[in-house]
Amino acid sequence: MPKGYSRPQTLIDKPWHFCPGCNHGIIHRLCAEVIDEMGLQNQTIGVGSVGCGVFSYEYFNFDGIGPSHGRAPAVATGVKRVLPDRLVFTYQGDGDLAAIGTTEMVHSAVRGENITIIFVNNTLYGMTGGQMAPTTLMGQVTTTTPGGRSRNQAGYPFRVCEMLATMEGAAYIARGAVYNPAQVVKTKKAIKKAFATQMAGLGFSLVEVLSACPTNWGMNPIQALKFVEENMVPVFPLGEFKVTPIEAGV
């Protein structure tokens, strides 16, 4: 009997290093499933990041690059200019992308660079132990906002999708989540659209995925998923912010 559900070909069979309840595993898997379905395993170059996603190249079964903190979109630009027909995507967290890598992210969109960013937003720096990120919610306690994020000290959460959607070079911008099966399915569709947008040569694409960090939030996995739905989604609303119809392309 054929298996209805098996490991994607582009996901290496090895144990995750992620904490229990972390959503990185689901998001890795979604990328792998989409690449399998699009038949792009042999034409994909993944560019990782620094943070909890740092080992993405150890899980994905395709060519991979480990860049420095925040510079993945610049590295991806270099790859894509040399190999314009390949699928080139970065996998970055919110510290990597929305703080130190803001410039590289914004200017990749400005250039309409034909790359995709998978942006995993868990509201803090996970790998270094839960410090405030630009995406930390107001009042949220982190190790560097022990009294909760306050306007006077640290300003407001950074909404990446809303900003990038204003740019002409951005072809597809969406935000998803993986706190329940319905959202997992929607997020997978968004990733597929983003990769298809790139393969059609339409320009820059980014999919933000809201992700639970039970360890650094001090919650159990169920509470953490609930936190995403109840506390993150109101600040980071889900949906598509910019869509370029693929038929319109090239």
Partner 1 sequence: MGELLLMKGNEAVGEGAIIANCRYFFGYPITPQTEILEYLARRLPEVGGAYVQAESEISAINMVFGAAAAGARVMTASSSPGISLMQEGISYIASAELPAVIVNVMRGSPGLGGIHPSQADYNQSVKCGGHGDYKLIVLAPASVQELIDFTILAFELAEQYRTPVVLFSDGMMGQMMEPVLLPEINTTPVDRPWATTGMNGRSPNIIHTLYLPADDLGNHVKQLFAKYDQIAANEKRHTQFMVEDAEIIVVSYGITSRVAKAAVEMARENGIKAGLFRPVTLWPFPDKALKKAAENAQLLIDVEISMGQMRDDVRLAINDRLPVDLYNRIGLVPTPEEIYEFIKSRAREVL
Residues engaged in binding partner 1 (CB under 8 A): 41-45, 47-48, 54, 57-58, 60-68, 71, 74-83, 86, 103-104, 106-107, 110-111
Beta carbons within 10 angstroms of residue 12's beta carbon: 15
Please say which residue, 76 or 117, places its beta carbon nearer to partner 1. 76
Q: How far is the CB of 73 from partner 1 (least distance, A)?
A: 8
Residues whose CB falls within 8 Å of the CB of residue 223, separated by 6 or more in sequence, listed in order: 214, 217
Q: How far is the CB of 134 from partner 1 (least distance, A)?
A: 18
CA distances from 21 to 120, 122, 198, 223 (A): 15, 12, 31, 10
Strand partners of residue 198: none
* Spatial distance between the Cα atoms of 18 and 181, rounded to a whole number of angstroms: 20
Q: How far is the CB of 217 from partner 1 (least distance, A)?
A: 25
* Spatial distance between the Cα atoms of 210 and 226, rounded to a whole number of angstroms: 12
Please say which residue, 41 or 128, places its beta carbon nearer to partner 1. 41
Please say which residue, 106 or 243, places its beta carbon nearer to partner 1. 106
Please say which residue, 69 or 226, places its beta carbon nearer to partner 1. 69
Q: How far is the CB of 198 from partner 1 (least distance, A)?
A: 14
Please say which residue, 81 or 245, places its beta carbon nearer to partner 1. 81
Q: Which of 91, 35, 44, 83 is nearest to 206 (CA)?
A: 91
69: its two tokens:
């903190």
Q: How far is the CB of 53 from partner 1 (least distance, A)?
A: 12
Please say which residue, 106 or 219, places its beta carbon nearer to partner 1. 106
Q: How far is the CB of 98 from partner 1 (least distance, A)?
A: 16
- Specify whether the CB–CB gap between 67 and 75 falls below 8 A: yes
Q: Can you list the positions of beta strands (E) in 29-112?
A: 44-47, 63-65, 87-93
For 130, half-sphere exposure in the C-beta direction (CA atoms, 13 angstrom radius) is 15
